[in-house]
Amino acid sequence: MRHCAPVALALVALACAVDPEPLDFDSPDATDPTAEGWEEVDTDASSSDDGDPADDGATPGEAGTADPDDSADGGTPDTCGDGTIDASEACDSGDLGGATCQSMGFDGGALTCDASCRIDTSACVGCGNGTIDDGEACDGAILGGQSCTSVGFEDGELSCADDCSEVITDACTVAECGDGVRNGDEVCDAADVAGATCLSLGFASGDLTCADDCSELDTSACVAAVCGDGAQNGDEACEGDDLGGSDCVDAGFDDGELGCSGDCTFDTSACLICQQFGEDCRSDADCCPGMHCDAFFGDLCWP
């Protein structure tokens, strides 16, 4: 008997003296490896012995009878893996102390005991196991890829019902024109004009706003670009000295001075088609300003 070995001699005597007790395990009830069996054993252990030495058969249930004795001794360390549920253990190996997935609140599945003698519900099936089982809409934080937006809302936090039967949309929000946030099908909402400005829309200045029904941007307060307002804006290529950063090369020429006409289009009359540094030439006139046609270098434009 395992429980006899580790205890002190005197205790061995006691334990062994008590051993005959498990007679009860021979009865139909006692063969049940359930919590009831435990209680019976306790009672047995405290009662005097029946004087039945024939009952030393080492069944798993019987091994369990040693634990109450051990804890009473206070001298035997609990050992996870010995098949006996000690005081500090919720289970041991195949002995789950009568617990089942159902008793742990699940619908079914296989309850097991982990290597640290703790109940392992990972193979249980039902609400709360962190897996969406058949018949469940979700399970805890596991929403199966669903979100407020996927179920028809615009924003917010989707959650799962306590019984896993459905997702909870209480914290989801709907798009509403006037809430100041561009959501749903809205083009804009109040001051949220999707990053656009009067300038980005081709106007000279002004404040861009949003239509009351959020369906479109309101440019009524934008100031139209006018050729003559002193700035290159709107569809204008240029205005006055404001060439919008362009030069003759941008306009397709080799060099020269780009200008702006009175109608805000480019004036390229001072732009030049000419040979640039290192290009062939026949006379100085072929070369762009600042260079001459150098015979020494084989008739190439040269500074």
Q: How far is the CB of 84 from Ca ion (least distance, A)?
A: 5
The residue among 179 and 299 lying less far from Ca ion, judged by its C-beta, is: 179
Judge whether 65 and 41 are in contact, CB under 8 Å: yes
Neighbours of 236 (CB within 10 A): 21
Look up residue 66 and give its amino acid.
Answer: A
The residue among 153 and 275 lying less far from Ca ion, judged by its C-beta, is: 153
The residue among 84 and 121 lying less far from Ca ion, judged by its C-beta, is: 84
Q: How far is the CB of 133 from Ca ion (least distance, A)?
A: 4
The residue among 136 and 255 lying less far from Ca ion, judged by its C-beta, is: 136
Long-range contacts of 123-132 (CB under 8 A, 24+ apart): 125/101, 126/101, 126/164, 127/162, 127/163, 127/164, 128/164, 132/164
Q: How far is the CB of 17 from Ca ion (least distance, A)?
A: 23
Look up residue 131 and give its amino acid.
Answer: T
Compute the distance between CA of residue 106 and CA of residue 92 in angstroms, rounded to an integer. 21
Q: How far apart are the first and last CA of the chain?
A: 110
Q: How far is the CB of 299 from Ca ion (least distance, A)?
A: 46
The residue among 84 and 275 lying less far from Ca ion, judged by its C-beta, is: 84
Q: How far is the CB of 122 from Ca ion (least distance, A)?
A: 11
Q: How far is the CB of 111 from Ca ion (least distance, A)?
A: 15
The residue among 171 and 249 lying less far from Ca ion, judged by its C-beta, is: 171
Tokens of 297: 């270098």
In 3D, which of 148, 152, 154 has the Cα closest to residue 168? Answer: 148
Compute the distance between CA of residue 174 and CA of residue 105 in angstroms, rounded to an integer. 36
Compute the distance between CA of residue 76 and CA of residue 37 in angstroms, rounded to an integer. 22
Q: How far is the CB of 64 from Ca ion (least distance, A)?
A: 9
Compute the distance between CA of residue 30 and CA of residue 23 in angstroms, rounded to an integer. 9
The residue among 2 and 282 lying less far from Ca ion, judged by its C-beta, is: 2
Look up residue 78 and give its amino acid.
Answer: D
**Site of interaction with Ca ion (CB under 5 A):** 79, 82, 84, 86, 92, 129, 131, 133, 136, 139, 179, 181, 183, 189, 225, 229, 233, 236, 239
